[in-house]
Amino acid sequence: MIRGGRRVEPSSCASMSEWLYSLVGENMKTVSTQLLERIADRLKAMADPMRLHILHCLQSGEHNVNDILQLVGSSQANVSKHLAVLKKAGLVSCRRSGTSVYYFIADEDIFSICRICCDGLQRQLDADRATIEQGRAEMMRGSGE
């Protein structure tokens, strides 16, 4: 937390909630801009269909770049850049073996996030469908009068 000139070191906090969740200071307005940016960066790294595809490919285990670009069906340069983004965000890591570079998931939590998103999409669709069906029923009743 870096508000008001005083800086609280993570090590001096008992738990994450004390540091990261010092998100909220004395009042609602003192939110750490830094933290918001870092969360945003992390989400931004995931918020791309191609990168999600790559992550999904790596879910089954590590792969080298050549394998990945075959799996996702894109150019080498493009995949390489996306991998660089994922790596910079700490979502994947890599190791060298000969001329190949093998990438693997560094943070399994990304799949939890994906699942939460899928659940949300599902709920949203269910709600939309219910709304439409209800509306349709009302229209039917209206035309019946």
Per-residue binding letters, 55-74, with DNA (x by CB under 7 A): ---------xxx-------x
- Residue 23's alpha-carbon distances to 8, 46, 95, 114, in angstroms, are 12, 22, 35, 24
Instruction: Please state, in angstroms and rounded to a whole number, the distance separating the CA atoms of residues 37 and 71.
Output: 32
Q: How far is the CB of 97 from DNA (least distance, A)?
A: 7
Residues of this chain, 6-65, that bind a second copy according to CB under 8 A: 6-8, 10-12, 15-16, 19-21, 23-24, 28-29, 31, 33, 35-44, 46-49, 52-53, 56-57, 59-62
Neighbours of 64 (CB within 10 A): 17
Residue 100 touches which of a second copy, DNA, none (Cβ within 5-8 Å per kind) = DNA
- Candidate list 44, 95, 129, 136; residue touching DNA; CB under 7 A: 44
Ranges within 100-139 binding a second copy (CB under 8 A): 102, 104-109, 111-125, 129
Helices 109-144 & 33-46 angle (0-180, nearest 10): 80
Would you say 23 and 32 are in contact if contact means Cβ atoms under 8 Å apart?
Answer: yes
